[in-house]
Chains A and B, each alone.
Chain A
Amino acid sequence: MPTHTLPDANTLINQLAAAIQPTLTPNTVLVGMHTGGVWAAQQLHGLLDVSMPHGDLDISFYRDDFDKIGLHAALKPTRLPFEVEGRDILLVDDVLYTGRSVRAAMNALFDYGRPARIRLAVLVDRIGDRELPIMAEFVGATASVPRHQHIHLIRDDAGQLSLKLVEVQ
């Protein structure tokens, strides 16, 4: 599938914002998952009428493939500038694929407190490839790509987001 068939990231973010806005409560916070989810959460935060700051979550310490891949990737700090206890959390990621990252993210959040609710918003849902019983409440677009390809959210120097297909080595 050539790159130009992937949807435009900004369009997806605008669509997501429109869908999320009516469901916001004063207790809602956005939490982006590093790295693509953090970029998406930042943009959504700018479009949505939320008073609380958004959080950034690194799931490296909660991944289920640590025994296979170790701690190689550059770690990003987790920053949650609010109490997680009792909060309405909207978890944001770029791509929902196997569901394993979201499982790790929920475990990480629970080590900070007991949220009242966690929902999930993703730019792209890779349908048919789920390995865990996880689904997103807000989906920008669905896509079906072969297993040897990944969908990456990338950010250019001007801060513009776009989606790109990458071959898995």
Chain B
Amino acid sequence: MTTGHSPPLPFAHEAAGQTSFLSFAPQAAGQAPPLPFLPEPAGQAPLLPLAHGVGAQHDLPLSPFYAYAGAFTALFVSFLGLALLWSASRFRGDRAGRPLPASLQRLADSSVTRTALRVLGAALALFFLAHLLLGPDDPDRNPAPGALYVLLWVGLVPASLLLGPVWRLVNPLRALLSLRPPTRPRPVPAAVGIRPAAAGLLLFAWLELVAPDNTSRPVLLTALAVHLAVQLLGAARHGAAWFAHADPFEAYSSLLARLSPLGRRADGRLVLRSPFNGLDSTPETPGLVATVCVLLGTTAYDGLSDNPRWITTLQTSSLGPTATATLGLLAAVALAAACYGLCAGALRLLNRALTTPLTSFAHSLLPIALGYLVAHYFSLLAVEGPRTVIMAAGTDNAPSPAPPLGPAGLAVLQVAAIVTGHVLGVVAAHDRSVRLFPPARAVAGQLPLFALMIAYTLGGIGLLIA
């Protein structure tokens, strides 16, 4: 995440205009004490709003100890997985799960709940829009940028992991559309899949990681206008189904929700299930690979953008920093995609019967992307999230809360997140390959996938050392 500007530390220095409560002159008895409450002469001019994202502090680079520990664990688990994991597929996808009580299901499905969530989403969107339009054009004093880049983008991760695809329930665009639903919506062509959402995610990542002045009002309003235009035009043609295909936040939330213990079975029942089953039931829609590669590549670029060498490249490039950063972002996504493409090609060579090598294993990259997201954005959410809420509640010059974890705790969390993502990915891929490959080739068939996952994991940890 790029850097921004946090309010002055409470102890840094007297704020300009603050009342002085103390006079520092030795006084003889009988002399008049100075009048209290004289404002101090204004010190420096107020800081200009900065052209940066949200968050002033970056996570410390990983120490080699944690990095090696993580890398070793990843390798060890992978080979253990090859040798010991089951030889027949165990996951049953959307047929698995223990149903929740019928009353809970009725509550979740009731139109009152749905309407309440719609209203909540619409109200929050209006609140956001009001701050964006009327608030000060300064990310230190306006909660709108933090609401977008932290509360929505990062906050959707824990929300979707706990509760399922929440964004489609509160999506204010759906509320807007329900006011005037199109009379004869046409179905979205099957070949489109979630490709528009993948493109939207890439654009959002560009806005977050590359765009200059990405917390300023004009930039945010432009981005919002483009988003609204694409979504509403599509929805006018295809109805609310368009959002599931094209709204980047809906696709993002729905994919992450695959790892939620809360899910829906094929028969519509609300169930508690193993995240592996949820993952296994990820629909192999066109664009799934693209979406996952965008998630992997952009998060990797976020790690890269902290690297001093990359910063030097950006600052000295003859193309200018924005163009260079755009190329870097695209290259990171392309690299993630190329690695996966190579792996899929190898899988196809090993097993001619595998007709869709790309989409068959894309779901196993989701936990890896999730691990990256947690490792990169945990402290951003923990520090800037509360600050944004405090600002939205009306506090001017909100303080940055202390990070919840020390440097060592954070390093452990980052490595654990990446390695856990790796392990989940290995397990998901293993189960899928023993289902798709004939038993004789099941172990050999997984080798390219395992190599790919090890490469992703080592790359992810390497970016955190950077």
- The reply to whether chain A is a binding partner of chain B is no
